[in-house]
Structure 1
Amino acid sequence: MKEVKSQATKNTATGKQGGLNAEIQSRIGHQLRAMYDDVVRQGVPDRFAELIRKLDVPKPNDQLGDAGDQAIKNDGRD
């Protein structure tokens, strides 16, 4: 346990942070890109694109109904 604390103290004192070095990060990045490259090339399925389009269209608030319209028109000064 003392070794871990002394190592952490050394890294903090020298300004060096723990973690992966640039070479390891680069290798992980290349491997992840290779794994997910096929998924990225497939694109978004049509049904997902349609759902996204539907979500982007503003829709009147059905929960408020006529009472909601009255509340908007009524500014509280009645």
Structure 2
Amino acid sequence: MSDDHSESASAMADGPSSPLGDGNGTVLGSDIQAKIGQHLRAMYDDVVRQGVPDRFMDLLSKLDKADTTSGEGGGRK
């Protein structure tokens, strides 16, 4: 049991763990990090390409009209 405690203490003394690790000293390799980055970029690009749905644009337009009719005091920022 004292071995577990001493390992934890030495891990803490080495500095903070990597944000991509599991807290137990396991860190993702650079090849895996690169692959995750590629997938995240692809997903983001897909979302950007989809654009804003028409119903959201209609709602934003209605909100903008409501802001101009109610005056500057009650507008969105």
User: What's the TM-score, normalizing by structure 1?
Assistant: 0.48
The structure with the largest alpha-carbon Rg is 1
Q: State the TM-score, normalized to the length of structure 2.
A: 0.48
Higher relative contact order (CA 8 A, sep 6+): 2
